Amino acid sequence: MGFDAIEVITTKRDRGELSTALIDWVVDAYTRGEVADEQMSALLMAILLNGMNRREVADWTQAMIRSGERMDWSILDRPTADKHSTGGVGDKITLPLAPLVAACGAYVPQLSGRGLGHTGGTLDKLESIPGWRASLSNDEMLRVIRTAGAVVCAAGSGLAPADKKLYALRDVTGTVESIPLIASSVMSKKIAEGTGSLVLDVKVGSGAFMKDVAAARELARTMVALGTDAGVRTVALLTAMDRPLGKAVGNALEVEEAVEVLAGGGPADVVGITVRLAREMLEAAGIPDARDPEEALKDGSAMDTWRRMITAQGGDPDAPLPKAAESLELAAPASGVLTRLDAMSVGLAAWRLGAGRARKEDPVSAGAGVTLHAKPGDPVSEGQPLMTLHADDPARFERAVEALDGAYEVGASADPGLLPLIVDRITA
């Protein structure tokens, strides 16, 4: 085609617009190894600093999709719906949501990831269930979907390989924060996954990637536009992550809480977001006679679907979940109302206890994490347990306690001034 990497880099460096042909060439050439890491690093930094317009982001996303396979669920006899969360602390929503939506009439093919840093990964959580397998072939995914109505598994290497390569490069070049690059990374995988509709859960607050509402809204709008332009019906909710979600943070601890939700109980915030996202997914999938998600939680059909889904992937839904060997209680420093509980600090503590990883290849502890005994707005008494830390190695407690220093406050106010659970809804 006669292009070269310098031309692409200097165009974006000088705040120019990248043509469709330039974008197609550079993504393909980088994936094949013709464009060097240092050249792509320079381009990513230019994109971070100078941005991309809607057409450029759409072209970049499509180029990444074309770098690999695109899944096709048209063989199925029901519409497909999927959900993606931008990640947070205690965000176990996928676990009850996928079987719930399947129990209400849609098929849910969900490709999920592992945790890195303070945010937990859905696959790490599910792997705390004895026997459960994350890696499935496309044929196995189809079998699980037909058996259970939903499948949650790892993305195969054939799906948007350009994104896998670019993601690793962004991580080490300080270019993770670019909204066009975040949006195209998420949406290239989700569109390649072949789902007919998509609901995005964009977290906002200290424990989220997007700390303020304006940035979260911009990311949501960019991703909704990408899905819409690719022919996938897409809607986004902005949801609160200024405090942890639910009362469990950590792999097996979050599975236990998800099962409580499927049994008709669980914390009100987890139930509220699960039901709202389920309704959004069923509406986006266009199922006119869909069952009400609240009913499917009450009558046990969502739980039945969960059990089928776990069993179909080799897991034992009745097996005891792993428990950490050691625990440590932290007490309320005073009596009053818990006015603040910083999500980022709790996520960092869980990570230091062994629930997360610093590098992709690190193992995680299934039983490690934090159990919260109070949430912001709850009354507390001096000396009562505020949270319990869980770890396999007691030497981990000291640094976890350090992470929680200054993370919570007890005051007189009954209104801690939190974000609403659902901050906004973004559509095309």
- For residue 73, give the amino acid letter: W
**Stated pTM of the model:** 0.94
Question: What is the pLDDT, as a whole number, of residue 1?
Answer: 55
Q: How high does pLDDT run on average in the chain? A: 94
How does DSSP classify residue 174? T
Is residue 315 within 8 A of residue 130, CB to CB? The reply is: yes
Residues annotated as catalytic are: 84, 163, 170, 185, 189
What is the DSSP annotation of 300-326?
SHHHHHHHHHHHHTT--TTSPPP--SE
Q: Determine the Cα–Cα distance for residues 370 and 347; give it in Å rounded to an integer.
A: 9
* Triad 396, 398, 404: Cα angle to 5°: 110
Region class of 394: left (phi > 0), else alpha (psi between -120 and 50), else beta: alpha
The confidence score (pLDDT) of residue 116 equals 63
Q: Which residues of the chain are under the pLDDT cut of 70?
A: 1, 116-117, 360
Residue type, 78: R
Set out the domains of the chain in order of their start, with CATH numbers.
5-51 (no CATH), 81-318 (3.40.1030.10), 326-411 (3.90.1170.30)
Per-residue pLDDT tens digits for 241-282: 999 999 999 999 999 999 999 999 999 999 999 999 999 999
Residue 157 contacts residue 109 (beta carbons within 8 Å): no
How many Å apart are CA 131 and CA 134, to the nearest integer?
A: 10
